[in-house]
């Protein structure tokens, strides 16, 4: 009788345990696209900026830990490049005794893992490997492989044993599988650094391979750190922006995306299949994308239950925590002092570097320093030709004349392509080139040219130049001349770094016509031609004539999906950094009178209603002809109207 009662009691207890599963709550915090913005300081303008900075963005993580919550912290890549501090740190190869301050910072902040973005490869593999060797946490990447072997170059994934407290306060161990991915296009964008050393595989394919492997090895939950944007286009394979497709892989519990410098959850992604913006889910899987420059940190709140010895995700909610309260015009978080102190020496070196004047390279025989007689700005670089872009093209063409001397392509006409890298957009109303008149310092080069690109020269035809410009013209919305309602000129979904201006030819852009290309380089309207009057040396361009175009390694490597612009067209991959070329060009000229040559413009059109755009309110202080300032918006942008005929 006693045995029977004991058996019943045990069976009842087992049944009760099965009915009342143990529950735990986990906060996953994630940063992405920090681009060296660790401190709340703008090295381009040499002024404090409280609207961003990793030392501030991490405040919610510290608060959650102090409150006893279960916390995981990840970074999604593009961490070590992006502003002058990255340039300064890259001048010294880290060692075990002297690790990179970047990793010292992340170690102190308690990161659990990170992955690599495309810009991690800008300084080459030796520097990257030296930097990440200082990490006291796993650095994972599953789609960069050794040569053609398909063997992972980096650690493809880890399974972290995380001790958490369940809702009853009891300590439990949850196994968290973590893997990461970079855009496959890095092999083209950084060809000079990576060719023959590594190759890449498709992001989705890599995830589909390793997620089941992690689950088989005991991972309770799986987190993907995917340095990639998200697209609503059907998957074809090899995409740069493959994030949303990862929601289709069984076993995935959370996805951190980045690369596109956008926010998720946000209305910008409302058209994605399976999206739930209220909870921040895609096909039921929590997703986040925390914008850029550490102006947000992403939070994924996971609820997991222990059933039959396995932890399972049962609920999730995602959100973004902004560093800056735009409405109240105040910071939401204070900088964490211990993290600020870690970067004291790096900050001082960076300030000394950016404040140094531009001095002439003795080999140029130029003046002792460069200066401009008027400000260099990009406030209206999307609406008309501005010298802040033209000076880049001048420098690139100047460089190419020497670089091509004595080669088989020396006699070809030289064109140059450059974009207004700092033109507001998703980065905000302060993200513009604004160099005052007077002597130029090194910091001004970073203000003109943000990225650590290298000069690359390709050979194309006149027909290729036409299609290149048609792709660039996607920067503009189609303006309906008959519409009486207000129309926005600028297509906000088109990145300004893809708005290439090509110098050496003249042309106009007819915005009353539809864009010929979609933002991903696919044909939108094959019959539409926005580029009109395209001429070289005063005559219509010959579609068959050959040209060399000086650009950067990103564009020549296929970045931006421009038609007929690819590594197969490269005739010179220079090791010289674009910013250094601009610096030397300025030093060789000395005093510069910054007047654009107006080789391009918007074709005149008449519209029944107002045509408007947004840019920095500082542009109102020196309005170009044909543009009217309408007022200041709550976002901090100025609103302007374009005069139509």
User: Looking at residues 524-537, what average pLDDT do you find?
Assistant: 97
pLDDT at 12 over 80: no
Q: What is the DSSP string of 373-442?
A: SS-EE-TTTTTS--HHHHHHHHHHHHHHHHHTTTSTTTTSPEEEEE--S-B-GGG-TT-B-EEPSEE-BH
pLDDT at 16 over 50: no
336 touches 55 (CB < 8 A): yes
pLDDT at 2 over 80: no
CA-to-CA distance for 123 and 142, rounded, in angstroms?
Answer: 20
pLDDT band at 324 (very low <50, low <70, confident <90, very high): very high
Given this model, what pLDDT does residue 426 score?
78
User: Looking at residues 429-448, what average pLDDT do you find?
Assistant: 89
First to last CA, the chain: 101
Given this model, what pLDDT does residue 21 score?
66
SS3 552: strand
Pairing of strands 285-290, 263-264: antiparallel
Given this model, what pLDDT does residue 82 score?
82
pLDDT band at 356 (very low <50, low <70, confident <90, very high): confident
Report CA-CA distances (Å) from 87 to 122, 369, 582: 11, 21, 16
Place of tokens 């209603």: 609
Report CA-CA distances (Å) from 354 to 42, 86, 113, 427: 11, 12, 32, 21
Given this model, what pLDDT does residue 4 score?
52
Here the tokens at position 553 are: 């390694």
32 touches 258 (CB < 8 A): yes
Is the pTM here over 0.85, yes or no?
Answer: no
Torsion region of 50: left, alpha or beta (phi above 0 gives left; psi -120 to 50 gives alpha): alpha
Q: Which domains can be identified in the chain, with CATH numbers?
A: 20-346 (3.60.21.10), 374-602 (3.90.780.10)
Given this model, what pLDDT does residue 210 score?
98
615 touches 638 (CB < 8 A): yes
Q: In DSSP terms, which residues pair with 181 in a beta bridge?
A: 226
pLDDT band at 26 (very low <50, low <70, confident <90, very high): very high
Given this model, what pLDDT does residue 9 score?
45
Q: Which of 634, 638, 633 is nearest to 620 (CA)?
A: 638
395 touches 594 (CB < 8 A): no
Given this model, what pLDDT does residue 403 score?
87
Torsion region of 579: left, alpha or beta (phi above 0 gives left; psi -120 to 50 gives alpha): alpha
pLDDT digits (tens, 9 = 90+) for 370-399: 889 999 999 999 999 999 999 999 999 999
Given this model, what pLDDT does residue 575 score?
62
Q: Which of 20-29, 94-103, 346-355, 442-451 has the lowest mean pLDDT?
A: 442-451
Percentage of the chain beyond pLDDT 90 is: 75
């Amino acid at each position: 009788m006693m045995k029977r009662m004991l058996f019943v009691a045990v069976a009842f207890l087992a049944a009760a345990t099965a009915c009342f599963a143990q529950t735990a709550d986990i906060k996953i915090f994630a940063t992405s696209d920090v681009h060296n913005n660790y401190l709340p300081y703008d090295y381009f303008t040499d002024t404090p900026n409280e609207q961003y900075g990793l030392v501030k963005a991490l405040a919610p993580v510290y608060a959650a830990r102090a409150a006893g919550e279960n916390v995981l912290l990840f970074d999604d890549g593009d961490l070590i490049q992006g502003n002058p501090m990255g340039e300064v740190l890259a001048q010294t190869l880290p060692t075990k005794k002297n690790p990179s301050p970047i990793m010292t910072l992340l170690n102190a902040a308690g990161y659990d893992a990170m992955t690599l973005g495309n810009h991690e490869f800008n300084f080459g593999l030796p520097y990257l490997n030296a930097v990440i060797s200082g990490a006291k946490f796993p650095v994972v990447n599953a789609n960069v492989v050794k040569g053609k072997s398909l063997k992972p170059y980096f650690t493809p994934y880890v399974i972290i044993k995380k001790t958490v407290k369940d809702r009853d306060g009891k300590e439990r161990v949850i196994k968290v599988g973590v893997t990461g991915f970079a855009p496959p296009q890095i092999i083209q964008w950084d060809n000079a650094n990576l060719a023959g050393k590594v190759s890449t595989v498709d992001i989705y394919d890599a995830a589909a391979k390793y997620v089941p492997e992690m689950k088989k090895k005991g991972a309770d939950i799986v987190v993907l750190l995917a340095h990639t944007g998200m697209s609503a286009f059907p998957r074809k394979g090899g995409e740069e922006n493959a994030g949303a497709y990862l929601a289709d892989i069984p076993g995935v519990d959370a996805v951190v995306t980045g690369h596109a410098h956008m926010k998720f959850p946000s209305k910008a992604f409302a058209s994605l299949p399976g999206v739930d913006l209220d909870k921040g889910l895609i096909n039921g899987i929590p997703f986040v994308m925390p914008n850029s420059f550490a102006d947000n940190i992403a939070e994924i709140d996971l609820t997991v239950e222990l059933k039959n010895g396995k932890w399972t995700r049962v609920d999730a909610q995602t959100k973004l925590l902004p560093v800056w309260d735009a409405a109240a015009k105040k910071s939401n978080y204070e900088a964490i002092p211990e993290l600020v102190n870690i970067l004291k020496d790096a900050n001082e070196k960076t300030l000394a570097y950016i404040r140094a004047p531009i001095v002439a390279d003795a080999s140029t025989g130029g003046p002792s320093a460069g200066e401009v007689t008027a400000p260099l700005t990009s406030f209206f670089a999307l609406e008309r030709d501005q010298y802040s872009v033209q000076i880049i093209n001048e420098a690139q063409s100047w460089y190419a004349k020497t670089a091509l001397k004595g080669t088989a392509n020396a006699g070809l006409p030289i064109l140059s392509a450059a974009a207004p890298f700092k033109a507001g957009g998703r980065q905000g109303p302060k993200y513009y080139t604004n160099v005052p008149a007077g002597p130029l310092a090194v910091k001004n080069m970073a203000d003109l040219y943000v990225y650590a690109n290298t000069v690359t020269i390709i050979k194309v035809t006149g027909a290729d130049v036409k299609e290149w410009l048609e792709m660039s013209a996607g920067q503009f919305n189609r303006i309906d001349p008959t519409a009486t309602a207000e129309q926005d000129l600028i297509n906000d979904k088109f990145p300004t770094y893809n708005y290439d201006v090509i110098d050496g030819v003249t042309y106009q852009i007819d915005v009353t016509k539809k864009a010929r290309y979609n933002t991903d380089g696919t044909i939108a309207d094959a019959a539409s031609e926005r580029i009109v009057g395209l001429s070289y040396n005063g005559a219509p361009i010959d579609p068959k004539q050959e040209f060399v175009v000086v650009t950067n390694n990103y564009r020549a490597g296929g970045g931006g999906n421009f038609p007929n612009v690819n590594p197969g067209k490269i005739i010179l991959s220079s090791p010289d950094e674009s910013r250094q070329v601009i610096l030397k060009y300025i030093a060789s000229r000395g005093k510069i009178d910054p007047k654009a040559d107006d080789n391009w413009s918007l074709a005149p059109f008449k519209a029944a209603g107002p045509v408007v755009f947004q840019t920095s309110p500082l542009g109102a202080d020196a309005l170009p002809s044909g543009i009217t300032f309408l007022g200041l918006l709550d976002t901090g942008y100025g609103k302007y109207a374009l005069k139509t005929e």
